[in-house]
Amino acid sequence: MTKAPQPRSPRLHTPKRSVSIVGTGSYVPERVVTNADLEKLVETSDEWIVTRTGIRERRIAAADEYTSDMGAKAAQAAMDQAGIGPEEIDLILVATVSPDMAFPSTACFVQKIIGAKNAACFDISAACSGFLYAIEIAQQFIMSQTYNTVLVIGSEKLSTLVDWTDRNTCVLFGDGAGAAILRNRKGAHGVITTYMGSDGDFSDILLMPGGGCRVPITKDNVEQRLNTIKMSGKEVYKQAVNVMLKAAQTALSQAGLKSEDLACIIPHQANVRIIEAIAERMNVPMDRFFINLERYGNTSAASVAVALDEANRSGRMKIGDYVLLIVFGGGLTWASSVIQW
């Protein structure tokens, strides 16, 4: 008589694993739109934009170049640097507010492009904070040994959400994508801590009103441009400085570190005045911050991801260095991560 199979023992005491970023990648579209180009669209000037934001140009994707396309190119660069194949990826997380479509997820489109047949896929919607939210989610899956290799992407085609007649917002945003491969790396601390926060009381200061079930898109509200980004600039600036400073201080405290221990700080690339205010309040010199917003503007969830890759590839961090990433976005949402490289 055949013996009935015995149930497997549950994994009650799975040891946690450290999680490291083992590869980064980024991609920006070829088309460059300068401040001089915007002078032809709205009443503005290069001096006005640079003085108030620090932005000089931004990249704009081609009409047939989608969020998933840019994300896949950044992902391939990260995979190449990490030395892994698509079949090794267990999970794909795409942080975006400009998905290819409402569903399926942009992560599924990326999966198809790169051939990651073994991966589970879903998107993260946390505006500009999305990449760090996704890093923390990836860390939990790897620490628990649910997955071994996670691909995290921040990718945005914000040019499709911008009101190109609004001089206060159209000068700020651009398109692009960044990616990271996360794995356990023996003998490395990797991601030491991630702090996340939200405050829905400020959900009305940075948003896109149309396109969801509250305001389904109709001919009338398209003409009202409700399917474009709306922002209360002064309030966003105030909240960004406050919560990014809080996020930085909290993450450093959780990690048992001080600002002077950091080799590099990579902030959300939205406005150089915000970064300057944070640097002053942290008493950290600006040369410790990695800044590329003058070339790309604010690319939302892709912002810190692209900056991380450029900082990595330019040698700003070496093995063992402590790096702080800080982000802020609509929601309100914010996050910070301390990583030992």
> What tens digit of pLDDT does each residue of 270-292 get?
999 999 999 999 999 999 999 99
Per-residue pLDDT band for 188 (boundaries 50, 70, 90) equals confident
The last residue of one of the domains, among 128, 162, 188, is 188
Question: What amino acid positions are annotated as catalytic residues?
Answer: 128, 268, 298
Distance, in Å, from the CA atom of 95 to the CA atom of 71, rounded to the nearest integer, reads: 10
Task: Report the amino acid identity of residue 146.
Answer: T
Helix (H, G, I), strand (E, B), or coil: what is residue 242? helix
Distance CA 335, CA 15 (A): 26
- Write down the pLDDT at residue 221: 82
Whether residue 160 sits in one domain with residue 205 = no
Region for 151 from its dihedrals, namely left if φ exceeds 0, alpha if ψ lies in -120 to 50, beta otherwise: beta
Range of the domain at 264: 191-340
Report yes or no on 7 lying in a domain.
no
Q: Residues 101-160: pLDDT tens digits?
A: 999 999 999 999 999 999 999 999 999 999 999 999 999 999 999 999 999 999 999 999
47: pLDDT strictly greater than 90: yes
Q: Are residues 48 and 146 in the same domain?
A: yes
Sign of the dihedral defined by the CA atoms of residues 111, 331, 263, 27, in that order: positive
Residue 82: pLDDT above 90?
Answer: yes
| Total of domains in the chain | 2
Do both 254 and 107 map to the same domain? no
Report yes or no: 327 and 132 within 8 Å, Cβ to Cβ: yes
172 and 321 share a domain?
Answer: no
14 pLDDT band, cuts 50/70/90, is low
Nearest residue to 92 (alpha-carbon basis) of 61, 114, 66, 65: 114
Q: Would you say residue 3 lies in a domain?
A: no
Average pLDDT, the chain: 95
Confidence check: pLDDT of 87 > 70: yes
* 183 and 233 inside one domain: no
Whether the predicted pLDDT of 15 surpasses 80: no
